[in-house]
Amino acid sequence: MIDEALWHDPEAYYTGPVDADVSAHPDPFSAAAAIFAFTTEAQTSNRDAMRQRWPEYRGKVPADLARIIIDENEARRSQCS
């Protein structure tokens, strides 16, 4: 769930995952699309499900970024419980 007041606050700093630099990737648009798809899918999946899907994203989504995305999603879920 997005906190819209925080999202629109120009004084608020982004505290989410650090963006990946895909500028050196052979197809940066494909890599950016893969990161977006991974992030979207991770929001409705757990770590085990994303591990099974990892071969599809390997080489497109940096492994460290994938870990951060999953960790952030799990932290949000535990706060909502």
What integer pLDDT is reported at residue 54 of this predicted model? 93
pLDDT of residue 1: 55
As a whole number of angstroms, the distance between CA 51 and CA 70 comes to 10
pLDDT, tens only, 16-64: 555 667 777 788 888 889 999 999 999 989 999 999 999 999 988 888 8
- At 52 the pLDDT is 94
Domain count for the chain, please give it.
1
The DSSP line for 15-68 is -SPPPP--TTSSSHHHHHHHHHHHHHHHHTS-HHHHHHHHHHHTTTS-HHHHHH
Residues 6-16: tens digit of each pLDDT: 667 777 665 65
